[in-house]
Each structure stands twice: as C-alpha cells, then as structure tokens.
Chains A and B, each alone.
Chain A
Amino acid sequence: MLKHKVLSIIGVVALIAVMSILPFFVREYYVEILIIFLINVILAVSYRLIATTGDWTLCHVILMGAGAYASALMAKYFGWPFFMTAPLAGATVCLVGLGIVYPLLRTVGFGFFITSLAVGEFIRLSWIKFHIPFGGPRGMIDIPEVGIIGPIDFYEAIPYYFMTLAITLVCLFILYRIDRSRIGKAFKSIYEDDILAESIGINVGRYRTFAFVIGSFFAGIAGALLAHRLGAIDPHIFALDEMVYLLVWVIVGGSATFAGPIIGVAVMTLLFEWTRPLLEWRPLFFGIILIGFLIFMPGGLESLIPKFTRLFGNRKAAQAKAEQPGGAEKSVV
C-alpha cells in the first residue's frame, strides 16, 4: 500500500513538472489551449464531486457561466482586481447554487438531472433577457484583463498559464482532500444507499446541498479564469452543447476515481484539436464516442488502469485494491 502511495506521489510530481515546462516548447496557440484545458480540469473535477452523491446535474456549465459573469461585472463596474473578483465570483456562484438547489433537492436521480437542465436554462435565459447588466444575447465585451502585477504582465499567455496552473493545483488539492475526507465518504454513501446513509445519521439533504454548493464554488472559479482570458463572454458559450461536452469528458475518463475526469479532459482535448479540420462533423464523432463508451466501456478509460496493472505483473496490488472495502469504487453511471 505504501509503495502504491509513493508511486502516486512520484506520478503527480512528474505530471506537474511536465505541465511546468510544456508551455516553453509549444506555439502560443497551444498555450491558450492548455489554459482552457486547465480551466476544464477544474470544471470536470468539481462536477465529479457533485456526482459522487449520485446527483448528476446538467447546469454545471451554466454555473461556470455565472462565475464568469459575476467576475466580469465586478471587474468592469467596480474596477476590482482579478484576485479579488475570482474568489468573490466563487462565493456568488455558491449563493446561486444554494438558491437553485432548493427545488432540485425535491428530485432524485433522473429527475434531478432533467430539472437541473431546466433551471440552468432559466439562468442562461436571464442573461439574454436582461440587457442591463448582462448585455443580452451579445454578452459582455471588454472584460478587464488581469493586467500587470509587479513585474509580471498577465496579458501574455505564459504568465497567465502559470497563474491558471497554480490556481488549478490549489483547487485540485482542496477537492482531493474533500473527496478523501469524512465528508467525501458521506457523499459516496448517499450514492450507494441514501436510506441506509440516513439511518446512520447522515443528513442526506444537507450533504447533497453541501456537495452542490462546493461544486458550484469551483465552477465559479473556473468561470472567472475563463472570462478574464477570453475578454468577452456571451450566453451562447454556456449552452447545453457545452454541458454535453463536459459529460463526454467525465464519461470517457470515468467518474469512480479522482483522476478519471482529468484523463477524460486530456484525451478529449487532444481529440478535439485533431478533429479541427472536420469542424462540421465533430459533434457526430463525439456523439459516437459518447454512445460507444456508455455501452461498451461504462467505467471509462480509468477502468483500464487496474487491467494494465494486472497485465504488468502487479497482480497482487490490484487484487488487494479490489478487495479492500470502498477500494473498488464503482462507476457512478
């Protein structure tokens, strides 16, 4: 078990090292792609946190949009700096999440999923409807850049990349700690059996709210990062299609382990870039991938990892992990 832990730490350190030198070896266009990739990682991992309670939602991208709008509004009209608007945007989205989770909690499973779609659409339409302050269908432009702080100009891609990387790592660390904590275990117990969880004193409603609000906070942070990089946002970039892309990442990567969604975002970002010449056909490819994974590999790519471990000799460790209670976490879908 200790060996496994050491290997994981070495892996994470190596990954961070690669991510730190990567931007110096690629064209600036790809640095922008990497920034969006990191933002999507925050989005997907925070989405998985909500999903561990069994509450799959369809409004996570909308919550990211709420964070983007909140941060953009604060930066534009109050002139506050990014390092103040980003956490405040997270807090704002927490409040939004608290507001919408109330009717959502009346539903479970599929009802929750579909109701969150409608509620998310309500929020998105309110951006279209109210020209002041959201700018209507054409959205907001001239969102202030992060600007120059000390000797660093965050308008440049590479400094912004490292800022995003640092924020992403902090977010992932917090999310990982929550996932491993007692609270995270309570979330999973609600998914396994909510009545049993309730009978041992877990307040199911409160924990579901808690998961949703924490997830909302990180979606808000991701939104703030996105808004200040793009410089312009409109309701269209947070539409349902983007939400289905998020589902594709989480399904392809898998949702049982913490690493699953990250693998999903990485693989799908690569595919997304490769299919750029076939722009019109892209949704068709992604549709086929989504259906294929749901039917033939419902555990996602992460479910391959134990199989590989078994192939390359480490049979005993894989078996021990499978037999350990709570070790073989099943995929949520």
Chain B
Amino acid sequence: MELTTFVQTMANSVVSGSIYATVSVGLALAFGVMKMANHAHGEFFMLGAYVVYVFYALAGMPFFLAVLAAIPTIAALGLLTERLIFRPTRGNVLAGFMATAGLTWILQVLAGRIWGLGFMKMIPTPYMGAANIAGAQIGLQRVLIVPAAVILLGFLWFFLHRVRLGKGLRACAQDPDAAALQGISINKMTSLAMGIAGAYAGVAGALMAPIHAVTPYMGRDLLITAFIVVIVGGMASIEGAVLAAFILGFIHTFVTTIFDATSAIMVGVAFMAFILIVKPTGLMGRAKA
C-alpha cells in the first residue's frame, strides 16, 4: 500500500469510526438504562438523513440548521418509541427488540411512501473542496464529521459525568431499584435515554446525508454494524462502544480498500466472534452479554 493510499485510508477510518461511535453510543446508552434494545435505531439514522433532505435540499435552509433540526425531530421519535413500545414491554428485552423490528418496517414503508423509492435523493454537498493531508485528498464534508463527533461525544461525556440528570441516568443504568429508592424517576430516565439515543442517531444520519445514498433502507446495514460495536464494546458500556466503533471503523475501511465491502462486514463479524470467545463480556463490559 502506498503512503498516499495509506493516509487516505487512515483518514477514512477515522471518519467511519466517528459515525459508528455517534450511532452506537445511543444504542449502548438505551441498552444500559432498563435494557431497551432498539431495532429501529438504523431507521432513526435514516430519518435523520431525510430531515436534512427536507430542510436543506428541498426547503433551502442552511446545512448547519438542517442538521440541528434533525436533533429534536428524531429525539421526539425516540421519546415516542419509549412511551409506546419500550414502556409496555419493560422487563422483557426480546419483546422490546422484536416490537421495534416491527417499527422498522413501519418507518421504512412510511419513508418509502412519503418520499418515494427508486432513485436516491440528490443532496448537494454543502462544503466543497478537499483537505490535503500528506498528498491524500479528503473531502471537507467527510472531514467535518470528525470534529462534529468529537463535540457530540464530549458533550455526552460531560452530561453523564458532570450534570445531575446525567448522573441519574448512570445510576439508573447501574441499579434501577437503588436509583428509584434515591428518588430518581425510572420513567423519566428511560425517556431521557431514548431521547438522547434518537438525537445521536438522527444527527449522525443528518451529517451523513450528503455523502451517503439516502434511501429508506440505508439504516439496515448500519444496524448490524452498530450492534456488533455494542457487543464488542461490552453491551451497556459507552466508553467500550466508542473504542469498539473506532476499531470497527479501521477494520471496515482497511478491508474495504484492500478487498471489498462484503469481506469488510464478514471480517467485522469474525472479529466479534473472536472477542466473544476470548472475552465474553466485551472489551469494557462487566456483565456477560
């Protein structure tokens, strides 16, 4: 591999690692709090991209505002999912997961009916030009994702460790009963977790919209990757998810560059199986998956 290709691939790895991390932290957070496993997480990502399509490509709002608009929209969808699906099925992970698999179908059909199938949506790239790093050209739109992810992840860390509400969320993840005894409302915490999960999936989709084919089925492939990340990271561990996201980002990008995209996912799964065999709790998990 030439140096230029290597640098290019490294940069792309960091970009995909950032996207995986932004998508997966929500999944890990929701799973940590009352074991909400969201199959429709990939569809949240998809709808985030459609928010950018509607506000930026159709309505002509600035790209930055369109991305910001995705946050409350998809967070609201997360809250709704929590209220209508996860709360009635609380205490049964599989039931919640299967019900959200039904939600996946509903959202895919609705997106297909509203915005049409067939041709992918053309979203003009808001930031033209490319950065030149050691001879490798990396599109600015892709570079932009990295600081955005750093800000988002930093904000989440700050929220979970320094803000009272976020500490409540962590307490609830550690021991719901003890947290409830301390006066933390479980219902409030599950809502909050799903709201955050939705917001992060939505904003990741929004950032990806100009450089990804926007179709109702774009969330499907990402979902498997996101779950692999969460399993490798240790199911409920957010730090583990971020670490695993970057490892998976590197694996996927390098294998795709050297071989092809199909092999990349296969190597990712093999990596997961390997981690499960040598360390069943995942990289940073405490309990068995």
Contacts and interface: CB of A to CB of B under 8 A. Distances in A.
Interface SS majority for chain B: helix
Q: Size range of the interface on B?
A: 35 or more
B97 A125 contact: no
A244 B270 CA distance: 23
B106 A284 contact: yes
A288 B102 contact: yes
B109 A247 contact: no
Interface stretch (A20-28, A80-88, A116-124, A139-147): A116-124
B262 A244 contact: no
Contacts of B263: 129
B262 A122 contact: no
Nearest to A103: B273
Interface residues of A, number: 41
A264 to B, nearest CB: 13
A254 to B, nearest CB: 13
Contact of B93 (A109, A115, A286): A109
Interface in B87-131: 88-89, 92-95, 97-99, 101-106, 108-110, 112-113
Interface stretch (B58-66, B67-75, B147-155, B224-232): B224-232
Given A106-B280, A115-B231, A290 B273 contact: no
**At the interface, is chain A mostly helix, strand, loop or mixed?**
helix
Interface in A82-118: 102-103, 106-111, 113-115, 117-118
Contacts of A107: 276, 280, 288-289
A172 interface: no
B272 interface: yes
Contact of B92 (A106, A281, A333): A333
A294 B273 CA distance: 30
B105 A286 contact: yes
B35 interface: yes
Contacts of A117: 224, 227
B94 A280 contact: no
Contact of B266 (A56, A115, A125, A281): A125
Contact of B272 (A118, A280, A298): A118
B266 A244 contact: no
Interface of B: 35, 37, 85, 88-89, 92-95, 97-99, 101-106, 108-110, 112-113, 220, 224, 227-228, 231, 235, 260, 262-263, 265-266, 269-270, 272-273, 276-277, 280, 288-289
Interface of A: 56, 102-103, 106-111, 113-115, 117-119, 121-122, 125-126, 128-129, 240-241, 244, 247-248, 251, 280-281, 283-284, 286-291, 294-295, 298, 333
